[in-house]
Amino acid sequence: MKKLINKPEDVVKEALQAMASAHADLIKVHYDPNFIVRADAPVKGKVGILSGGGSGHEPMHGGFVGMGMLDAACPGAVFTSPTPDQMLEATKAINGGAGVLHIVKNYTGDILNFEMAADLAKGEGIEVEAVVTNDDVAVQDSLYTAGRRGVGVTVLAEKITGAAAEQKRPLKAVADICRKVNAQGRTMGMALTSCTVPAAGKPTFDLPEDEMEIGIGIHGEPGRTRMKLKTVAEITEMLVKPILEDLPFKSGDSVLAFVNGMGGTPLLELYVVYNELAKILGGRQIKIARNLVGSYITSLDMAGCSITLVKMDDELISLWDAPVKTPGLRWGI
Amino acid sequence: MKKLINKPEDVVKEALQAMASAHADLIKVHYDPNFIVRADAPVKGKVGILSGGGSGHEPMHGGFVGMGMLDAACPGAVFTSPTPDQMLEATKAINGGAGVLHIVKNYTGDILNFEMAADLAKGEGIEVEAVVTNDDVAVQDSLYTAGRRGVGVTVLAEKITGAAAEQKRPLKAVADICRKVNAQGRTMGMALTSCTVPAAGKPTFDLPEDEMEIGIGIHGEPGRTRMKLKTVAEITEMLVKPILEDLPFKSGDSVLAFVNGMGGTPLLELYVVYNELAKILGGRQIKIARNLVGSYITSLDMAGCSITLVKMDDELISLWDAPVKTPGLRWGI
Amino acid sequence: MTVRRDDVIAWIQAYADVIAENKARLTQLDSDIGDGDHGTNMDRGFQAVKAKVPEFADKDIGAVLKTVGMTLVSTVGGASGPLYGTFFLQAGSATAGKMELSLNDWIAALQAGVDGIIMRGKANLGDKTMVDALLPALQALKESASSGAGLPASLKASAAACEQGMLATVPLVARKGRASYLGERSAGHQDPGATSSHMLLQAAAESWSMLAD
Amino acid sequence: MTVRRDDVIAWIQAYADVIAENKARLTQLDSDIGDGDHGTNMDRGFQAVKAKVPEFADKDIGAVLKTVGMTLVSTVGGASGPLYGTFFLQAGSATAGKMELSLNDWIAALQAGVDGIIMRGKANLGDKTMVDALLPALQALKESASSGAGLPASLKASAAACEQGMLATVPLVARKGRASYLGERSAGHQDPGATSSHMLLQAAAESWSMLAD
Ligand SMILES: Nc1ncnc2c1ncn2[C@@H]1O[C@H](COP(=O)(O)OP(=O)(O)O)[C@@H](O)[C@H]1O
Ligand SMILES: Nc1ncnc2c1ncn2[C@@H]1O[C@H](COP(=O)(O)OP(=O)(O)O)[C@@H](O)[C@H]1O
Ligand SMILES: [Mg+2]
Ligand SMILES: [Mg+2]
Ligand SMILES: [Mg+2]
Ligand SMILES: [Mg+2]
């Protein structure tokens, strides 16, 4: 295993310490239980937004804490949902009196832990709503599975919902914006290589030098199908088609297009993917109103990418454009 | 070779097309000869800043074109210096009447091509100055080599110099700021894996599963020494020590600390490196006044990192803090 | 023939050691059809439980099991944290105030624990989860008890049925948890959670096998 | 016994083909001690030159060589682009207006080209660069000419000396270009630029070997 680490079990804690010192102007880090809050939390009268999940997806979620996005994030162990006690303490720390929204990716672990946390927080008199993101079209037959995974849309939903909260909209309205982004968003991902979980010490799956996995998640789960490596034009088509058909996205739609790297893929290649995506969407008269290209929701050192499209309207665009000031995403301020 | 590409020879052009469409609000792309300019170039009365070099280092340099940083960037083929005709056209396109500064990384190819371009531009009546960055302490005996390579400092110099130019300082003063950042900056890098040049199709060097290279550049050149993999605490110490001794950095100094990923290393690990760096500098009473953690000057898909320190004063800090609006680096606006 | 408070603690400690020994194996099973952390998760949780033994060593069995549950909830994370956490919390409620357990008490505790897992995770038999190991174990325990067998024999029967249930997960296509994302590709692998559940009841059977009648 | 304009063009075209065939080899040499692009760089440049042949096929030799130089400068990049570009630009200046070259004209052209490379790259003999192949070639050419040998024989001697110079780069420690960063680790590898330079003069010797006396 080739990683810049000391002991596998210390990676998360050490990264938190680094974030605390590197971004002291934006965030504060609490330990035992671990969570990251924006430096000025709680913001009075504003809905607090909490997300969280296993570590290994950096900059998500800790890198999205700050003005205009998340109020707090709970990092679990690598690829392991955080625990209810973390979530409860974080919920209390960001409750500015207007309630707290939990943005939860649809994984059994995340759902169960956030449910327990919400029950505990409500028991302490805090109003809590939860929105579950489940945008991964790679998961078919969701009746026979734990349902679609929450992936790329989560990043975009956190940004847009954060902007709505910043306008001091009430909890229900903020949660509705988040649900809308999730409902109008779809993602599909692929891997060129497996990732290696530090504690496991070896790749989660083996992938021969000439093969790739289509329909992977963000935890080194193998995808649904394995096939010979193809050109990026063919790969992009394979990712976009099920996305477009699923919502469906139609000619004349405006979208936010997000090309995401899985952690081991350089920006150069992500731009090459974006180039193909722009061609495909252009050919279908779908307008890319806004875009994001980079590694924002990663899977440790996995090479590969995901594509997310969210159908946008004027309100969502103006919320996307609103200022954001976090370690991982920043503009307008 | 596992890459998200079509044909190796088309990668650079396709990435340029993607940047043009993804960042149409910030930049424009010219083809044949290839260069990227900020959307509002030339800015009247402002020194134009041009950089460039081989592709494969994204976001550098094209991703740093925009308000507060570069006016133009010339991308060469992967790891190959661009050509004088590109540089000449870009120089003309950004000349707002106050002259143009070329920021050149110290590689024979870049030096020779920029020299030819400067001669041609001067021939057309444009005032040109060149600053060569050469911050790589891995290169010893610079008398017996082509001299120290320009690496991490280049990113920081482009940001700080761009801010000075934005204040409409004259060419000589802008060039002096750039020289000062370079003179006060030092970098050292290491690799966990080789990178793979698309046209070559296989890794530039072989590195066994339990070994690493110390003192690498940003072009897949092997480093000066190869050794068994160590903990990140030991690695960071090995990178920082020669940096500190070389300038030297002393107790009481303020620095801009830059932990850079080589393209295949996830942000999580870069934070772990930053954590070690902060400990080492803290132990020596060197203050981290500002920091940057991320993959900004990369070497395709190489896993590894570099550490750059620049000694800062109040002026440099305020130039660093000044607004910047580029695809790759953005704050304050 | 009863299980005393110290026997319960001995069982928990024995299980923590079993998990530590089998950490890599559980993680490997989870790598095949999940995200490769089940061993690490369980080990983190049960090491924390072990460290807490001094705190609950003088409490009643209900309190012991509840503390185990709380500790798991706040240290394991993932799917297994809330599930095993709920198991112990519910088993603790069912045994509140008790200093020793009869066979019937143990049946009630296991019933409450398994009900808790099903209530929280909503898995059905055949979904390829820990439930596939636990439900047959509970069933066998009840049958053995009603046929008049004693505690050690019933625990043995329960662990054996648990093992069968665990092995029976191999051909199944997962419908719950991460493994479900693999669809048909999840068949042919043993479920990690079912495996750790079998280890739990196996540890009970072994740990309590020589209890005085 | 002279080299006519069409012979010069034939040489350039033959060299372009040699480069295309040896692209992988040159890139491999550059991977060992550089950045693995020398073959790709040279091939990109000489394919562009080949495409331009129709444009300069009716010009004088000086103009032909200058166009080759300009094309290399604007398509090769890296270190070799300005260096080979300057070589051809300077050789073109030395042969301006000529429609054919005597042996002495060729000596003058090669001298100007090599001087240009040294002026631009500031490499000394022994720095492990193309200069280590080119200087001995120039020297041998002059010696052969002054000993009275004809053009084909002198070209052969020149190419042979060039090969020796190229082979002599193997044990050297590089002091210029990217290979210099490797320090001692650059020894034991043949310099890619010296290799492409040898191919250039070898192509001249072969291409012009059957010129009528
Ligand atoms: N809904 C569920 N009900 C019961 N057990 C479940 C459920 N979902 C998952 N499991 C169990 O959890 C195990 C995985 O646990 P673990 O790997 O620790 O958590 P995660 O899946 O979050 O990484 C599975 O093998 C399965 O037995
Ligand atoms: N200063 C120099 N003078 C002469 N030749 C040089 C010099 N620097 C490099 N070279 C030659 O250039 C060759 C490398 O060319 P190439 O790989 O195309 O460019 P780059 O080094 O920019 O990647 C070397 O093998 C060497 O022969
Ligand atoms: Mg997990
Ligand atoms: Mg090169
Ligand atoms: Mg798991
Ligand atoms: Mg080269």
Q: Residue A221 has what pLDDT?
A: 77
Lowest-pLDDT range of A55-59, B73-77, C180-184, D22-26: C180-184
Domain A8-184: which CATH class? alpha beta
Residues of chain A with C-beta less than 8 angstroms from the C-beta of B264 = 264-266, 301, 303
Check contact D-A (3+ Cβ pairs < 8 Å).
Answer: no
Give me the DSSP letters along D101-159. Answer: E-HHHHHHHHHHHHHHHHHHH-PPTTSSSTHHHHHHHHHHHHHHHHTT--HHHHHHHHH
Model pLDDT, residue C212: 53
Neighbours of chain C (3+ CB pairs under 8 A): A
Whether B61 sits among the annotated catalytic residues: the reply is: no
Beta-carbon contacts of residue B290 (< 8 Å; ≥ 6 apart):
B256, B257, B312, B317, B320, B321
CA of C78 to the centre of ligand 5 (A): 7
The pLDDT score that the predictor gives to residue A142 is: 65
B232–A305: do the CB atoms touch at under 8 Å? no
Report the residue of B13, B221, B301 to disrupt the D interface, i.e. the one with the largest count of D CBs within 10 Å: B221
The verdict on ipTM greater than 0.90 is yes
Residues linked to residue D3 through DSSP beta bridges, in sequence order: D101
> What is the C-alpha to C-alpha distance for residues B265 and B262, in angstroms, rounded to an integer?
6
In a domain, D213, yes or no: no
State the amino acid at position C87 in one-letter form. F
**Mean per-residue pLDDT for C60-86?**
97
Mutate to test the interface with D, among B34, B115, B145, B214 (most CBs of D within 10 A): B145
Radius of gyration of chain D (CA): 16
Looking at the DSSP assignment, which residues form a beta bridge with residue D101? D3
Range of the domain at D199: 3-207
Q: How many whole angstroms separate alpha carbon B123 and alpha carbon B114?
A: 14
H helix intervals, D1-130: 5-33, 38-56, 61-75, 80-94, 103-121
Q: Is B261 helix (H, G, I), strand (E, B) or coil?
A: strand
> Cβ contact (<8 Å) for D176 and B138?
no
* 8 A C-beta contact, residue C59 and residue C85: no
Q: Which of A301, D173, A327 is nearest to B268 (CA)?
A: A301
CA of C18 vs chain A CAs: smallest distance (Å): 18
> If you take atom 24 of ligand 1, which residue's CA is the nearest one?
C193
Q: Is residue C213 part of a domain?
A: no
Positions in chain B whose pLDDT score sits under 50? none
Q: Which residues line ligand 2 (CB under 6 A)?
A: B 80-81, 108-109; D 30, 34-35, 37-38, 41, 78-80, 83, 117, 121-123, 129-131, 176-178, 191-194
What local confidence, expressed as pLDDT, does residue B141 receive? 72
Residue C213 has pLDDT above 70, yes or no: no
pTM of the model: 0.94
Spatial neighbors of D80 by CB under 8 A, at least 6 apart, are: B109, D38, D41, D42, D130, D193, D196
| Cross-chain Cβ contact B144/D177 below 8 Å | no
Which of D29, D122, D129, D198 for a ligand 2 pocket mutation test, highest count of atoms within 8 Å of Cβ? Answer: D129
**Is residue C196 within 6 Å of ligand 1 at its C-beta?**
no
Task: List, by residue number, the catalytic residues of A.
Answer: 57, 219
In the reported structure, the alpha carbon of residue B84 is separated from the centroid of ligand 2 by a whole-number distance in angstroms of 17
In terms of Cα–Cα distance, which of C161, C114, C111 is closest to C136? C161
CA of B221 to the centre of ligand 2 (A): 14
Those residues whose beta carbon sits under 5 angstroms from the ion ligand 5 are C 30, 34-35, 37-38
Separation CA A255–CA C127 (nearest Å): 37
Cβ–Cβ contacts within 10 Å for residue D141, how many?
A: 26
Query: Do residues A9 and A307 lie in contact, with contact meaning Cβ atoms separated by under 8 Å?
Result: no
* Tokens of residue A177, six digits: 């914006």
| Chain B residues touching residue D31 (CB < 8 angstroms) | 200, 204-205, 220
Ligand 1 close to Cβ of residue C32 (< 6 A) = no
pLDDT for the residue numbered D212: 54
Q: Do B224 and D36 touch (CB under 8 A)?
A: no
Q: Across the interface, do A55 and B268 touch by the CB < 8 Å criterion? A: yes
pLDDT digits (tens, 9 = 90+) for D45-84: 999 999 999 999 999 999 999 999 999 999 999 999 999 9
Q: Distance, in angstroms, between B82 CA and closest chain D CA?
A: 5
**Within a domain: D182:** yes
Domain count, chain C: 1
Strands (E), A185-303: 185-191, 211-214, 225-228, 254-261, 287-294
d(CA B249, CA B183) in angstroms, rounded, equals: 12
Instruction: Please report the residues numbered 121 through 180 in chain A whose beta carbons come closer than 8 angstroms to any beta carbon of chain C.
Output: 138-141, 144-146, 149
Contact partners for chain B, using 3 or more CB pairs closer than 8 A, are A, D
Taking chain A (333 residues) in runs of 10, the rounded mean pLDDT of each run is: 96 98 98 98 98 98 98 96 97 98 97 96 96 94 82 98 98 98 98 93 91 93 88 98 97 98 98 98 98 98 98 98 98 96
> Which of the ligands is closest to the CA of residue C84?
1
Separation CA B131–CA B51 (nearest Å) = 10
How far is it, in rounded angstroms, from Cα A80 to Cα D127?
A: 56
Note the pLDDT of residue B222. 73
CATH code where residue D142 lies: 1.25.40.340
A185-314 CATH choice from 3.40.710.10, 2.30.30.60, 3.30.1180.20, 3.40.50.720? 3.30.1180.20
Provide the 8-state DSSP code for B257. Answer: E
CB atoms within 10 A of CB D102: 14
pLDDT tens by residue, C124-177: 999 999 999 999 999 999 999 999 999 999 999 999 999 999 999 999 999 999
Tell how far the Cα of D3 is from the centroid of ligand 3, in angstroms: 75
Q: Is A249 helix (H, G, I), strand (E, B) or coil?
A: coil
Return the pLDDT at C202: 98
Q: State the closest ligand 1 atom to the C-alpha of C194, by its place in the atom list counted from 1.
A: 27
* pLDDT, tens only, C20-46: 999 999 999 998 998 888 999 999 999
- Distance, in Å, from the CA atom of C107 to the CA atom of C104, rounded to the nearest integer, reads 5
Residues of B with CB below 8 A from A209's CB? 2
Whether residue C189 has its Cβ less than 6 Å from ligand 1: no
> Which single residue is written with the structure tokens 């100094």?
B253
Domain positions in chain B are 8-184, 185-314
Cβ <8 Å between A80 and C176:
no
Mean pLDDT for chain D overall: 96
Which ligand sits nearest to residue D41's alpha carbon? 2
pLDDT in tens, B266-300: 999 999 999 999 999 999 999 999 999 999 999 99
- Classify residue D194: in a domain, yes or no: yes
